[in-house]
Structure 1
Amino acid sequence: MDIVERLGLAVWVKDIKAARSLGRMGNIHYISKRLKYVYLYVDGKTADQVIHRIERLPYVQRVERSQRTNISFDFAKNKRTQQA
C-alpha cells in the first residue's frame, strides 16, 4: 500500500453553496461560513493542475497553498539552544 502525498489548500470563495462543488477536486476538510473559505486536501502530484482548475472557477477569489512543508518540526534542536 502506497501512501499518497497530500497538499492542503485554502480556497477563498464568494459563495459557500457553490463551494461545496470543490469536493470533486479533492477532500473537503473544513468549510468556514463566516470567513468564506474552504480547506481542501488534494493529491500532491497533480496539485498544480488542480490549483489551476480551481482558480478558473467563477466563485473562487484566491487559492493559497499550505505552508506545512516549510515548517521545521525538529523541536529537540530548539530546546537545546534555549537551555544553553
Structure 2
Amino acid sequence: MLTNELELTPRRGLVVWVYSLKQLRNLKRFGYVYYVSKKMKYVVLYVDEESVEETIEKLNKQFFVRSVEQSFRPDINMNFTNRLGNQDCHDEPLDFEEQKTEIRLAEFDD
C-alpha cells in the first residue's frame, strides 16, 4: 500500500556575503539558493537544520565568502494569542470613547 505523505525537513536560512558572484555555482552545492542580490553581493541559502553549523564552517573557509549570518526565524515563537491582550474577551462588547473633534476648512485668500 502506497502512502502519499510529504515529509518536511526543517531548514534554516543563511545569508552569505560574498566578494564576487562569480562563484555562485560553488554555493549551489551547499544548499538551495533562494535569492541573489547582485547589487549588495549576498546570497540567501537554505540548508537542512541538522547540518547548519558544519555548513557555516565550510562556507567561512571559502575564499570568496566575506561572512555568513544565520536566520533566527525558526527560533521565534509565532503564537501571538495571549501577547496582544486578547485573552478570551470575545464575549464582552468593546467600549469606545467618542472623541469630539472639530473640523476646520483651510481659508484661502484670493
TM-score category by the smaller chain? 0.7 to 0.9
Is 1:62 the counterpart of 2:67 in the alignment?
yes
**Displaced runs of 4+ in structure 1, greater than 3 A?**
none
The letter of the residue matching 2:12 is L
User: For structure 1, which runs of at least 5 residues remain unmatched after alignment?
Assistant: none
Is 1:75 the counterpart of 2:60 in the alignment?
no
Aligned match of 1:27 in 25, 29, 32?
32
Q: Taking structure 2 as the reference length, what is the TM-score of the superposition?
A: 0.67
Q: Taking structure 1 as the reference length, what is the TM-score of the superposition?
A: 0.86
Aligned residues: 82
The letter of the residue matching 1:32 is S
More strand by share: 1
After superposition, the CA RMSD in angstroms is 1.7
Whole-Å separation in 1 of the counterparts to 2:75 and 2:48: 18
User: For structure 2, which runs of at least 5 residues remain unmatched after alignment?
Assistant: 1-5, 90-110
Is 1:50 the counterpart of 2:55 in the alignment?
yes
Question: In terms of Rg, which structure is larger?
Answer: 2
The alignment-based identity, stated in percent, is 35
Is 1:4 the counterpart of 2:9 in the alignment?
yes
More helix by share: 1
Whole-Å separation in 2 of the counterparts to 1:71 and 1:48: 19
